[in-house]
């Protein structure tokens, strides 16, 4: 029933589900729209500004999500790792994860999480907000990197890492919000919901 939850989460990410659950939000999951153009792959990086790409993908996932109740807001999110203007995608395998971590080592980078929310019954009004955090990757020893790679916690994560992962100790939040780096900024979601409700 529409009144039993606040929104549809158009995402397959368990981390985003956990963040909304921890925030006490009521939601149901639905299948997101395709985030990449036809012929693309989640392991490929499209060219362009990383923040703009995150915003585009979040919009694609939201506007083409498979929902049941047209009067319930739909939320989609996309997170990118931005190293000096270049997107670092998800690692296809262990070697790729090691290469991504090597590129990040010793540098600060930005993490952009784009949120897109709309109500299917009112598709002309789309509500969007992008949160950005800065993360510093230290210069871990080979043994520390190997420990992390052995854990497999890097799988399916932008940039080849999760800042919340228990088997890494070389990534540190410099500015912004921790949940933005994990993959969903709860405060942004609350603001978008408030804006959407103001229209009803």
Report, as residue numbers or ranges, the catalytic residues. Answer: 78
DSSP symbols for 39-87: T--TTS--SS-HHHHHHHHHHHHHHT-B-S-TTS-EEEEEEEEEETTEE
CA distance linking residue 86 with residue 48, whole number of Å: 8
CA distance linking residue 124 with residue 113, whole number of Å: 23
Looking only at the bridges linking them, the beta strands covering 7-10 and 27-30 are parallel
CA distance linking residue 89 with residue 79, whole number of Å: 10
């Amino acid at each position: 029933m529409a009144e039993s939850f606040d929104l549809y989460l158009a995402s397959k990410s368990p981390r985003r589900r956990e963040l909304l659950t921890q925030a006490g939000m009521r939601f149901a999951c639905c299948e997101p729209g395709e985030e990449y153009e036809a012929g693309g792959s989640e392991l490929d990086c499209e060219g362009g500004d990383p923040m703009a790409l995150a915003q585009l993908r979040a919009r694609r996932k939201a506007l083409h999500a498979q929902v049941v109740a047209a009067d319930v807001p739909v939320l989609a999110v996309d997170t990118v790792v931005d190293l000096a203007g270049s997107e670092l995608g998800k690692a296809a395998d262990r070697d790729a994860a090691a290469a991504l971590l090597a590129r990040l080592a010793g540098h600060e980078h930005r993490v952009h999480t784009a949120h897109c929310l709309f109500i299917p019954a009112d598709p002309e009004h789309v509500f969007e907000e992008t949160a950005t955090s800065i993360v510093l990757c230290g210069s871990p020893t080979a043994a520390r990197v190997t420990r992390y790679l052995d854990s497999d916690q890097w799988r399916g994560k932008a940039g080849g890492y999760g800042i919340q992962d228990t088997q890494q100790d070389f990534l540190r939040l410099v500015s912004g919000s921790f949940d933005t780096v994990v993959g969903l900024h709860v405060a942004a979601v609350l603001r978008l919901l408030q804006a959407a409700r103001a229209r009803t």
